[in-house]
Structure 1
Amino acid sequence: MHRLMYTLNDLALMTMLSTRTLRTYIKKGLLQGTKRQTGWLFTEMDLEHFFEEPYIKESIEIKKRALINDFVEGNNPGCACMIYDYRCENESQAQELCDKLICKINVLKGRNIRFSFAYHKKSKIGRVILQGEARVVSKLMNQCIMEE
């Protein structure tokens, strides 16, 4: 079952945008959420509206391309980059995979895992991009896929 609320750090992890950039988007009204004592929280609907913004889509795509280009150009020696397209019956199933990855990555604090996730409604594909230590990236992806 997927989560009902996401933190600013969860969103930063999903998009590869900094929390500072995300706070700027909040101030500009591009990102809606609820401010609590513990920080910002976002619903799936908040994220859906945010991801529909053309400017945001472009920013995230630029980050994804940079992640892959850095790997291909050898800018992160000792790292592995894994791109996995996962066929999903619906958006909810894709979101569950994303949620599992976020939870597992959050446990691995300090492991410098870079992560991107996008669901393509038309093709019903959830695309996961993970970059980090090869052993950790492989284990992380296998854990999430095996649980399906």
Structure 2
Amino acid sequence: MSPLEKLFTVEDIAQMTSLTTRTIRNYLKDGSLVGRKIGGQWRFTEEDIKNFMSRDAVITHFKDVAIQSIYDFIDGVNTDVKGKLQICNIIDLYTSYEKAVAKNNQICDIVNKEIKGMDIQYDVTIDGKEEDEEVKIRFVLYGPPSFLMKVYPLLED
């Protein structure tokens, strides 16, 4: 680990994944998520998070959450944005694995900058493996138009 490498907290991962801090701690306890304690608090590198997010059980969980959130949007269940304009987009992009990961990282950066004070939800799945010629990356994005307008240009090749 480089001394300049960004470290993430349990709260950071919870915010990135829409999981509770309790769930993150359960993943730590069962070994699905690996990190290190620094000053008595858990810290995680980007590599730790990528390894966690690539586990089959975690991928299945996120797919289930994404599907349920789409149904909730259609059914009008999302009440915490009452009275505000919110858009739900499902975007499938077919590209190389490397480009899919790069696009995901770019969008994650925007989400992490914008999420405070905004009603944003972001789900992503990559169907395929690194050795595949082409993979499908699916983005499910919820948020105000201003957020989505920052994301759309990143989807271009």
Into which bin does the TM-score normalised by the smaller protein fall? 0.7 to 0.9
- Secondary structure of the equivalent of 1:75? coil
Letter in 2 for 1:85: D
Greater strand share, 1 or 2?
1
- Secondary structure of the equivalent of 1:22? helix
Deviations 1:80-123 (A, max 9, x none): 11111112212x22121111111111221211210011111165
Structure 2 counterparts to residues 41-120 of structure 1, below 5 A:
41-44=44-47, 47-48=50-51, 50-54=53-57, 56-76=58-78, 78-90=85-97, 92-108=98-114, 109-120=116-127
TM-score, normalised on structure 1? Answer: 0.76
- Supply the distance in 1 between the matched residues of 2:93 and 2:122 (Cα, whole angstroms): 15
**Higher-RCO chain (CA-CA 8 Å, sequence separation at least 6):** 1
**Percent identity of paired positions between Structure 1 and Structure 2:** 23
Larger radius of gyration: 2
Unmatched segments (≥5 aa) in structure 2: none
When the two structures are aligned, how many residues end up with a matched partner? 141
TM-score, normalised on structure 2? Answer: 0.73
- Secondary structure of the equivalent of 1:100? helix
Q: Confirm or deny: 8 A CA contact 2:95 2:135 kept in the other structure.
A: yes
User: Given the alignment of the two structures, is residue 129 of structure 1 paired with residue 132 of structure 2, yes or no?
Assistant: no
Q: Confirm or deny: 8 A CA contact 1:32 1:42 kept in the other structure.
A: no
Unmatched segments (≥5 aa) in structure 1: none
Letter in 2 for 1:58: T
